[in-house]
Structures are given as structure tokens and as C-alpha cells.
Structure 1
């Protein structure tokens, strides 16, 4: 929605009487980013606020003071609003941090059947991660696991698979 900014969390509530805000942060590694201002979504627009202090007492939580928000009456209207930072502050993704969830948009290539198509969805279930492709006008789901993945070309955006015999037939109706 906001092309030049990325969401880091949501203001849950005020804390104390001096305008401190409790922010639920769902952006990993936020405490490694050095920022002196945040943008708070207000009526569909991003409004900048200077940060006078921020603490991270536990995972997914930040306590934040904003310049000019020095009383609970000024802080209360900000509760339940999303908080953003400019994209230029987003940390570069370390290639070593690549996960199966990052395979969305990759082209799946099976050893026997060739190119299956673009992975349109990657869903994490308790036991496994499932990828979805549209192959021969059918939605095909398959697990992303070490047994089936033969290689991943991160630069080229391709994943090489050896899917079990008969898996595609289940979706194609044995055509």
C-alpha cells in the first residue's frame, strides 16, 4: 500500500501517562536498524514522527517515545495504528537467510516433466512447507523438502525438483 515504506508493526496501546507507546513489532531484526523517525498511518497517509527513545524489552515488543507526544492524551489516538520505516532503512537480505518461503515467484522445474511453472504460493504447515504451481491448467501442490529439492538457483529464480512418480497424475486426473 505504501510503496516507499515497509511496515514494522502496530501500536498496541499507550503505556503510562507520559505518552509512551507499546508497539507490537513483527519485523525481524528491527533492533538492528538505526532510525530516528517513524511513519504512522493516519487516515490512509503516513505521518512522520521523530523518535526520542525506543527500547526492546522482549521479542516483538518496542516501547517508544515520540517527539511532541508527551502525554497519554496525545498518545491514545495513535493506538491500533501501523508503524512504518522508509525502504532505504530496510536491511539488505543476507543470501544465507534465504528460506523456503522465499521461493514464491520461482520457476519450478521437475527432472521428468520439465518446467512446471511459477510457484504462486508457499504455505507453511506444521509438518511441511507446500508450494503451489499452475501446471497444464491445474493447480498442483507439492511439498518443499530435501527429498524432492535437487537444487535452487537463487540468482536465476529457479528450483529443481525430482517429484515422486504419480504426484502430478493425481492433479491431472491421469490424463
Structure 2
């Protein structure tokens, strides 16, 4: 069986003397971390290795304390700093709430009937959420807020939007 994986963040530093690490993640604020048992770290490009979690807890809205099995001191933890952290797609869906914007990664964005492509990343800000897309090889940040969002269709994995006139042209011209 082939799995789909999602990059959820990066190990940014060690913490303490017993091998704990701090992960900066983009799973959103409403994530249940206590039941996450396994993560994947990128060893080389396109090579993910599984690691079992000994302990995991929230540090803030976008950071976690992470202790992996077999990493028991500060020196061992330091070898993992700046590594990308991955989870199986179905695990991400399981541990994030359905209304959490992180589930939109992979959803199609449709602006007034025009398919703009899939959401590549979700960036949460205090008053709005930005979805990163790629249109004609250019990065585009699309705001998702009360004025732009018409409907979220979880069955077809589609965000139906009405974007302000000229927004896309700013990125594409």
C-alpha cells in the first residue's frame, strides 16, 4: 500500500538535556497531539524514515515539544535540527478538526467558476487565512475570509471563492 505524506513542519531546536526537540508546525491551533504515535523525518530528498514518539505536547499555537524513542541526549537531538517533519495524510486528517484550515491542503480553489489549482500550503493569520497556490509557475497567496469564501465542499475537496477584482493580476502580471 502506498501512502500519501504531508509536511507538517520542521525541527527548529533541541530542548533540555534528555533529547527533547521543538517542532515548528503548521497544523493549526486546534490539533490533538496526545494520540500522535509516529512521525517521519526526511533523511535524504524523498526518503522518509519513521520515528516513534515517546512524548509529545503543545508548546504554543504553532510549536510542539517532541521526544522520540532512541534520542536520549542533547547531542543526539542536535543531529535532527532543521529536518522536515512529515505525517501520513490520513493521520493529519485524524488529528486535526474538520474545520481546521490545514485540511484544505490539496483542496481545489475555484474563483467564480475558474479552477486556480490546489492549495499547497495554509498560512494562518489573526484575521484571515492565506492559501498558497502556484499559477503559471508563480506563487500566489489567496486570502480566505468572510468576504472571499463562498463555500467549502469537503466531499469534492473544493474551496469556492469570490476574489477581489485584480488580485490575481497583481501576482500574474
Per-residue displacement from partner, 1:96-141 (whole Å, max 9, x unpaired)? 5679x888532624xxxxxxx323589x9989989x9x9xxxxxxx
* Structure 2, unaligned runs of 5 or more: 136-142
| Residue equivalent to 2:23 | 23
In structure 2, distance between residues paired with 1:91 and 1:51: 18
**RMSD across aligned C-alpha pairs, in angstroms?**
4.3
In structure 1, distance between residues paired with 2:148 and 2:53: 48
| Residue equivalent to 2:109 | 105
In structure 1, distance between residues paired with 2:26 and 2:74: 24
In structure 2, distance between residues paired with 1:160 and 1:22: 36
Matched residue pairs, number?
146
Contact 2:112 2:160 in 1 (8 A): yes
* Structure 1, unaligned runs of 5 or more: 110-116, 135-142
In structure 1, distance between residues paired with 2:4 and 2:118: 24
Q: Which structure: larger Rg?
A: 1
Contact 2:14 2:20 in 1 (8 A): yes
Partner SS for 2:85: strand
How far 1:54 moved relative to its partner?
0.9
Per-residue displacement from partner, 1:8-41 (whole Å, max 9, x unpaired)? 2110011122111111121113335721111111
| Residue equivalent to 1:42 | 43
Name the CA shift for 1:128/1:59 in 2 (closer, same or farther; >3 Å).
closer
In structure 1, distance between residues paired with 2:55 and 2:22: 12
Name the CA shift for 1:127/1:51 in 2 (closer, same or farther; >3 Å).
closer
